[in-house]
């Protein structure tokens, strides 16, 4: 098991057309996202991180690259840290067209993301695959301090699951772009000891009630 775990959301993405980019290629960080990633790397520079694992998607790998260069370690991609399958369902669609193309689905997500029968991968499934990644890498590097770079809802699902908080009120306190949530082991599980956001922040798009996973 890791001695400490930093959960890092990727920086803001260049997405001028406002589409759900999900797992699509060709969506790098914006200039603001790069500034956020650099600030996060600086924030974590003295934390003693020796293990850096990232989602394979472009925006996460680019964010992890800032950390890797600042920390002087290699970032390793793990497919278990990828985006939630829910966003893949809407991939390439403009956010503003979702209600027309997928009637009722955004409202269902806003009401209770843990109960979405139209999605093959449940929120519980996301938490389990994310936990499996943490467990696997923690067993490989027991006692190490690690950073994991992933996406908004997968990170939030992992955070709540590891800390035994469940998914009620899931939309509260989600990590913003390039935010860091820090956990450490405690008796029978994990405890969240801090959360941090970079000074540079992005304006929300779309509105919070439609803020599915990370696809913006």
pLDDT at 188: 85
Query: What is the value of pTM for the model shown?
Result: 0.92
Domain boundaries, the chain: 4-210
Is-contact 155 80, C-beta < 8 A? no
According to the model, what pLDDT value does residue 216 have? 43
Given this structure, which CATH class describes domain 4-210? alpha beta
* pLDDT digits 0-9 by tens, 8-47: 999 999 999 999 999 999 899 999 999 999 999 999 999 9
CA distance 43 to 164: 27
pLDDT in tens, 164-212: 999 999 999 999 999 999 999 999 899 999 999 998 755 444 444 444 4
SS in 3 state form for the chain?
Answer: CCCEEEEEECCCECCCCCECCCCCCCCCECHHHHHHHHHHHHHCCCCCCCEEEECCCHHHHHHHHHHHHHHCCCEEECHHHCCCHHHHHCCCCEHHHHHHHCCCHHHHHHHCCCCCCCCCCCHHHHHHHHHHHHHHHHHHCCCCEEEEEECHHHHHHHHHHHCCCCCCCCCCCCCCCCCEEEEEEECCEEEEEEEECCCCCCCCCCCHHHCCCCCC
pLDDT in tens, 101-116: 999 999 999 999 999 9
């Amino acid at each position: 098991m890791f001695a400490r775990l930093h959960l890092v959301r990727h920086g803001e993405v260049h997405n001028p057309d406002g589409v759900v980019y999900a797992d699509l290629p060709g969506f790098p960080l914006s200039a603001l996202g790069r500034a956020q990633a650099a600030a996060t790397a600086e924030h974590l520079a003295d934390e003693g991180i020796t293990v850096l694992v990232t989602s394979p998607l472009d925006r996460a790998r680019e964010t992890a690259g800032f950390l890797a260069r600042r920390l002087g370690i290699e970032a390793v991609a793990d497919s278990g840290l990828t985006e939630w399958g829910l966003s893949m369902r809407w991939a390439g669609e403009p956010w503003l067209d979702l209600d027309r193309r997928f009637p009722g689905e955004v409202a269902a997500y806003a009401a209770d993301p843990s109960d979405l029968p139209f999605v093959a991968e449940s929120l519980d499934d996301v938490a389990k695959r994310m936990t499996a990644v943490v467990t696997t890498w923690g067993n490989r590097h027991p006692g190490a301090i690690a950073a994991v770079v992933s996406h908004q809802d997968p990170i939030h699902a992992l955070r709540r699951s590891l800390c035994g908080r469940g998914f009620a009120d899931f939309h509260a306190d989600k990590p913003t772009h390039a935010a860091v949530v820090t956990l450490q082991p405690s008796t029978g599980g994990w405890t969240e000891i801090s959360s941090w956001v970079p000074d540079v922040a992005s304006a929300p798009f779309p509105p919070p009630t439609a803020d599915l996973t990370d696809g913006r």
